[in-house]
Amino acid sequence: MNVTETDVAVLGAGLAGSLIAKSLAEKGWRTLLVDRHRFPRHKVCGEFLSPEVRQTLDAAGLLDRVSALRPARVERARLITAEGGHVDIPLPGTAMGLSRFRLDEALHEAAAAAGVRVLTSAAVLSVTRLADESCEVRVKREGRMELIRARTVIAAWGANGQAPVTGACCAGDSGGERFSGGPGSLRRPQGASILTSAKTEGQLNSFMPLNLLNPADRKNQAGSSSPANPTNPTNPACPTSPTNAACPANPANPANPANPANPANPGKQACSTHAWRTRGTLNPWKRSAPDYMGVKSHYAGIEMEPIVELYLFPGGYLGLCPIEDGLVNVSALLSRDAFRGAGKSVLALLEAAAQRCPPLHSKLKRGLPVPGAQAAVAPVKLNRRLNPWDMVPRLGDSSVMIPPLCGDGMSMALRSARLCAPLADDYLRGKLSLAGWEEQYVRAVKRTFGRPLRWGRLLQSSLDSPAAVRLLLRLAQLSPGMASGLLEATRLKPEGEY
């Protein structure tokens, strides 16, 4: 097995992953950027680079490189309903339209120029954090297994990433639960889970749990989940069961250091009463929330003003954004229930969406789909809880599903990389502990993204009600200032402002 040693392994070569890899390589760190896809490629994205994206690219020294790709100019946004009502909203600055096919490739070239080793077509099979805080990443590339040993790992693997881990949860844990051993401990106990990837139907990038069993227990795996199994922690008779009064992890056990009645309890270091729950039992989504699917295609022959258009209709919405070479990106977020039976191809779904919105149908019939420029992703869950740290730092959509209605998803992805990079640098230099990195990064993400996410989700939920859509549009027509205020509320403030 080929073994590669590096300082940083960034998993996911999208916007956030490429930017942080470039940033850390420029600091002198050996950096590996890994993705299971082959690039360049088309992916579901609005391909709208907001004024905030321009500012971040400029700060990262990338604006000239991106501008050389001749992106389309975008000056305002237009909301259009199925009934034909519309309102124009000026943007706070000049935006751009550029395909991810071109943008991702440009960022990879910039990262490689900075010294990053870009490893594509490499499927991540597992990530294991060791007792010394370093990580081992197992990947499969061109049919061969490879091992990456990194001082640290950064997750930028996209919206459908999951990393369930078994272990104790301590109060003050702002991301997921830590392993047992006290606050900040990352020792991996026997039988703990690791982060692993698995290709599943409809998911372009999903990470699923794979339990690591002790070799002697593997032959008993089939019975290990039975409550009757005396070694099963869910069995009350098991010595390690959290419901067993003698279990050291039982909050009611006087011997538990986290028990307030225990004189040895350090107070602020106490574990919460939900210790020993596993991440497999934590559902990051509300079961009642609707599932969506995202689809996109490029079209030729559609004349566009320097406007990004958003069409609202029952069951979803669709955006038109001019991009390079006179093309138009057509991307939609559709309710899976509302469009069940509408067809299985991207173009069939886009046609079904256009049938629900006459102004959109009139626009799309003038253009022709560009062959090979179609992409889809499902499921899209819009109510995942914010989780910037889960064993490793998570960037962009890996930490939260940014409501597409915000129109600022790419800006948030890039900003998360900007927030994380200096902390990662300090950690690698020994100036910051792993627990300190986690604490500062989680605080920065919540402070930076909290307001845009709240307003974005509020506006997103309003689309489920046609009456609310009509009311919002009417208010925006009567008060353009209010419409601009709502748009501003969903966007990031300039770097350094909160």
Q: The domain spanning residue 324 has which CATH number? A: 3.30.9.100
Candidate ranges 65-74, 270-279, 334-343; pick with highest mean pLDDT: 65-74
- Structural domain for 296, as ranges: 63-98+290-381+462-489
| Per-residue model confidence (pLDDT) at position 218 | 33
- Greater confidence (228 vs 413) lies with 413
CB atoms within 10 A of CB 349: 22
CA 223 distance to own-chain centroid = 35
Question: Amino acid identity, residue 307?
Answer: I
| Per-residue model confidence (pLDDT) at position 247 | 58
CB atoms within 10 A of CB 427: 22
- Greater confidence (383 vs 249) lies with 383
Q: Does 323 fall in a domain?
A: yes
Max Cα distance, the chain (Å): 76
Q: What is the mean pLDDT of residues 456-473?
A: 70
pLDDT at 363 over 80: yes
Q: Does 6 fall in a domain?
A: no
Tens digits of residue pLDDT in 2-42: 999 999 999 999 999 999 999 999 999 999 999 999 999 99
pLDDT at 268 over 60: no
- Position 244 confidence tier, pLDDT thresholds 50, 70, 90: low
pTM attached to this predicted model: 0.74
- Position 394 confidence tier, pLDDT thresholds 50, 70, 90: very high
| 382 CB-near residues (< 8 Å, 6+ apart) | 289, 292, 401, 403, 457, 460
Residue 471, Ramachandran bin (φ over 0: left; ψ between -120 and 50: alpha; else beta): alpha
- Greater confidence (228 vs 77) lies with 77
Q: Does 339 fall in a domain?
A: yes
Q: Does 135 fall in a domain?
A: no
Domain count, the chain: 1
State the angle between helix axes of 480-489 and 466-478 in degrees (0 to 180), rounded to the nearest 10: 120
- Distance in Å from the first CA to the final CA of the chain: 48
State the angle between helix axes of 480-489 and 434-462 in degrees (0 to 180), rounded to the nearest 10: 150
Candidate ranges 149-158, 209-218, 229-238, 381-390; pick with highest mean pLDDT: 149-158
Q: Does 268 fall in a domain?
A: no
Lowest mean pLDDT: which of 57-61, 96-100, 114-118, 257-261?
A: 257-261
User: Are 82 and 313 spatial neighbours (Cβ–Cβ below 8 Å)?
Assistant: yes
Whole-number Cα distances in Å, 181 to 175, 178, 455: 17, 9, 38
Q: Does 348 fall in a domain?
A: yes
Q: What is the mean pLDDT of residues 368-373?
A: 98
Lowest mean pLDDT: which of 39-43, 112-116, 178-182, 297-301?
A: 178-182
Q: Does 196 fall in a domain?
A: no
Tens digits of residue pLDDT in 126-146: 899 998 999 999 999 999 999
Question: Amino acid identity, residue 201?
Answer: E
Whole-number Cα distances in Å, 481 to 78, 89, 452, 485, 489: 15, 9, 18, 6, 12
Q: Does 20 fall in a domain?
A: no
- Position 159 confidence tier, pLDDT thresholds 50, 70, 90: confident
